[in-house]
Chain A
Amino acid sequence: MTESTQSTGLAAPKLRLGGADGWGYAPAPESTDHVELRDRYGLFIDGDFTDAADGRTFETANPATEEKIADVALASDADVDAAVAAARRAYEEVWSQLPPRERGKYVYRIARVLQERGRELAITESLDGGKPIRESRDVDIPLAAAHFFYYAGWADKLDYAFPGRGARPLGVAGQVIPWNFPLLMAAWKIAPAIAAGNTVVLKPAETTPLTALKLAEIIREAGLPPGVVNIVTGAGETGAAVVQHPDVDKVAFTGSTEVGKLIRRALAGSGKHYTLELGGKAANLVFEDAAVDQAVEGIVNGIFFNQGHVCCAGSRLLVQESVADEVISKLKDRMETLIVGDPLDKNTDIGAINSRAQLDKIEEYLEIGEAEGAAPFQTSCPVPERGYWCRPTLFLRASQSHRVVQEEIFGPVLAVQTFRTVDEGIAMANNTPYGLSGGVWSDKGAKAFRVTSRIRAGVLWANTYNKFDPTAPFGGYKESGIGREGGLAGLHFYLQPEAAA
């Protein structure tokens, strides 16, 4: 029995997926009625919202429409100074004096209010950052709450978490977070810091300040003592002021490797503690014995989740040659069903690129990849006229020497390569300056464990991808950073390292 259609002279079978013909989905936008957004947002210092000392502001816009949402106070050195002073005062006079159990209660309270206001926060996140509501609703906000719940539980159990160490906090933490998971990153930073007894000055990213400012409202609603959490908005200069402030004891940064290097240089010799969570270029290895359809789904989740604005994105697909044609063909079919568009539409799979600057960077890499000789593939999905959009993209026949394989693009762009043997696959996976994450797809359990143990990265997934949990440590090898966040390891980096005297 011949399986081939080539001999019959018929056209190759093709699925009619996605596209406009036939039955499509009508728009299903999430209502924004009950979300209150102000025209103007101030800095959150010492429990109050205030304008910047010099009155300067910047605009935050909706990347899906390019329309301004609000004016936000731009913190200068003087504002950062005030915020650090408030944090120091709160640390010395209140927070470090509280019985740990009381501290825990406050953190639990934040978690509960976050949940209660979940829908409003999800909508705000999608408006300000462009991510699809399906993700902000189902991933970002629930996970942010989960982090507060998780670390609240540790607040009065630090001596059990780190026996014999006499767990003591570090003091004032200066935290700078990126725009890809604005509220979630704020939770990752604030929850372990305050649960461990530190106070915080947090600087959200300039393109996505709104959910952090809503978190400030929630923190006030939860009745936290003034100054325990301070939020200063602004761009790189504000961040630099937070990081370099002499009265900050600990710096926690999530962002680009480029800025991470600057921070590490700036901190040299300062005696400050620091954790850096930086870029990545993770390999997703698909072996010939993988469950192909589920692997394809994992590849899609790996690179197209949050428009590919994910430091641990599976941005390199390494697929074994014997199954490469099938995997790539199925991946293309699956990509045709992805819907790019209005982040507030419940059916949107890929929302808006976070900013014009980021879109420019992605488009530059699309040109670089083509010039280097990789073969681009983009889906036929329509995109809106206004706003910043990028169709899901593959670079087929990419090579280890290509910049699109070596450098972090931070967009919905997947470099596709093939390998022949297990050893070759592992060697390619490790041949990168980064080491944040990776994925392995095989139906053989022993192989999955053996391969994951040989990939030099902080987070490895087997037969799944982009799974996050507050109990699991997250962080990188090599240029992907230093230190860990999440789990007990994350708590450890907010405590004095030495044993009790």
Chain B
Amino acid sequence: MQSSTATASFESPPIDTVGVEERVARLCSRSIKKDAKLHALHLTLSMIDLTTLEGADSEGKVRQLCAKALQLHAALPDLPHVAAVCVYPALVGVARRALEGSGINVASVATSFPAGQAPIEIKLLEVRKAVEAGADEVDMVISRGRFLAGDFAYTADEIASVKEACGEAHLKVILETGELGTLDAVRRASDLAMRSGADFIKTSTGKIKPAATMPVVLVMLEAIRDHYLRTGEKIGMKPAGGISTAKDAIRHLVMVRETLGQDWLDPDLYRFGASSLANDVLRQIVKQGSGIYQSFDDFSL
């Protein structure tokens, strides 16, 4: 398989954790005010993958979520819509019907999310089923066990196979960085995923902590940048898990701006996987206009 040869001839650069943390601290010292803040808040909304991934998810819950995606806050009619709604494969059809014609994508996790501990045939079948049911985007998980055991060729082949099963659907590859242990491993997994067909690389399932920490995201952004400079190919980034406030989101956007540049400040190339972020952003937008914070009860679930 071509992916195996690609990885065999490739070595990821070393990452210095202390240096990464210092860079992150410096990026966090950026102060985003007034118009710049408002712009960032709107941008954040347009990048959100509104997500529900629970065993208890029902059709009703998904319809609720889709309605929220279609109308984030009735009092502010000019808001951008979120990028996608992200659900389990069994509920893709429900989301598809609710969002038809809205321009909002349906994303589905697959490949035995979140652990990924299923035979590859079953994972591929799950991907095909999700796409058949109308998923525009597939969020897969890599087999962290095989990756940590050093079987990089397996990981590369696994991603390439899922990409094939996706057909037209966009593939986001979840590295589950909280289980990878080091930033060196995060970088290696990022490089592997991009070379094996990922359209997006994504930090986490949201089921494991730590999730999308800033050092991890910075290392992934640098991997995307290097891949772009080497190949001209723009891979997207999706931090997921743990980003719940507008302040966090803006810090991420600053990091994107200063690492990848303006081109990535776009929902086609950057997403936030989040369930509670949208309402904090809405609250900040209202506050930018009125000067007053409103109660969370003033915003729909």
Contact = CB atoms under 8 A, between A and B. Distances in A.
A15 interface: yes
Given A10-B232, A23-B253, A293-B222, A28 B33 contact: yes
A15 B260 contact: yes
Interface residues of B, number: 40
A1 B5 CA distance: 8
Contacts of B16: 291, 294, 443, 463
A9 to B, nearest CB: 11
A16 interface: yes
B293 interface: no
A16 B265 CA distance: 11
Interface in A279-294: 289-294
A200 B35 CA distance: 50
B29 A134 contact: yes
Interface in B28-86: 29-37, 39-40, 43
Interface in A287-308: 289-295, 297-298
Contacts of B30: 25, 346-347
A24 interface: yes
Nearest to A1: B6
A22 interface: yes
Contacts of B2: 1
A162 B37 CA distance: 56
A392 B5 CA distance: 42
Contacts of B34: 26
Contacts of A10: 232
Interface string A1-38: 10101001010110111010111111110000000000
Given A5-B231, A16-B263, A297-B23, A28 B14 contact: no
A291 B13 contact: yes
A26 B37 contact: yes
Contacts of A26: 32-37
A294 B215 CA distance: 12
B29 A28 contact: no
Interface string A106-140: 00000000000000000000000000001000100
B232 A292 contact: no
A23 B222 contact: no
Interface string A323-355: 000000100000001000000001100000000
Contacts of B296: none
A23 B43 contact: yes
Report the interface size class on chain A: 35 or more
B32 A28 contact: yes
Interface in B253-273: 253, 257-258, 260-263, 265
Given A291-B14, A346-B29, A443-B14, A23 B262 contact: yes
Interface string B262-292: 1101000000000000000000000000000
A23 B257 contact: yes
Contact of B19 (A138, A298, A329): A298
Contacts of A27: 33
B15 interface: yes
A344 B19 CA distance: 26
Contact of A15 (B37, B195, B263): B263
Contacts of B14: 289-291, 443
Interface string A438-467: 000001000000000000000000011000
A463 B35 contact: no
Contacts of A295: 19
Contacts of B229: 13, 15, 329
Contacts of A21: 262
A473 B106 CA distance: 60
A225 B35 CA distance: 52
Contacts of A293: 13, 15, 19-20, 23, 222
B261 A15 contact: yes
A464 B228 CA distance: 27
Residue among A10, A17, A289, A298 with the most chain B CB within 10 A?
A17
Contacts of A291: 13-16, 19
Contacts of B231: 3, 5, 13
A26 B30 CA distance: 11
B39 A23 contact: yes
A15 B31 contact: no
Nearest to B32: A25
A295 B271 CA distance: 29
B22 interface: yes
Contacts of A8: 232
Nearest to B228: A13
Contacts of B23: 293-294, 297
A19 B225 CA distance: 18
Contact of A294 (B15, B36, B37): B15
Nearest to A5: B232
A1 B31 CA distance: 43
Interface string B224-259: 010011111000000000000000000001000110
B149 interface: no
B31 A28 contact: yes
A246 to B, nearest CB: 48
A337 B19 contact: no
Name, among A3, A8, A10, A19, the residue most crowded by chain B CB atoms within 10 Å (CB to CB). Answer: A3
Among B16, B39, B222, B265, chain A packs the most CB atoms within 10 A around the CB of B16
Nearest to A28: B31
Contacts of B232: 5, 8, 10, 12-13
A159 to B, nearest CB: 37
Contact of B262 (A22, A25, A28, A292): A22
Nearest to B218: A293
A337 B258 contact: yes
Nearest to B265: A23
B19 A464 contact: yes
Nearest to A289: B14
Chain A CB within 10 Å — which of B19, B33, B39, B40 has the most? B19
14 contacts: A1-B6, A8-B232, A15-B263, A19-B262, A23-B39, A23-B40, A25-B30, A25-B32, A26-B35, A26-B37, A27-B33, A297-B19, A347-B30, A464-B22
Q: Which 8 A-B pairs have the closest CB atoms?
A: A294-B19, A22-B262, A28-B31, A291-B16, A26-B36, A15-B261, A346-B31, A16-B261
Given A25-B31, A25-B32, A25-B36, 13 more contacts: A13-B229, A13-B231, A17-B261, A22-B257, A23-B36, A23-B257, A23-B262, A25-B30, A25-B33, A27-B33, A134-B29, A298-B19, A337-B258
Interface of B: 2, 5-6, 13-16, 18-20, 22-23, 29-37, 39-40, 43, 195, 222, 225, 228-232, 253, 257-258, 260-263, 265
Interface of A: 1, 3, 5, 8, 10, 12-13, 15-17, 19, 21-28, 134, 138, 289-295, 297-298, 329, 337, 346-347, 443, 463-464
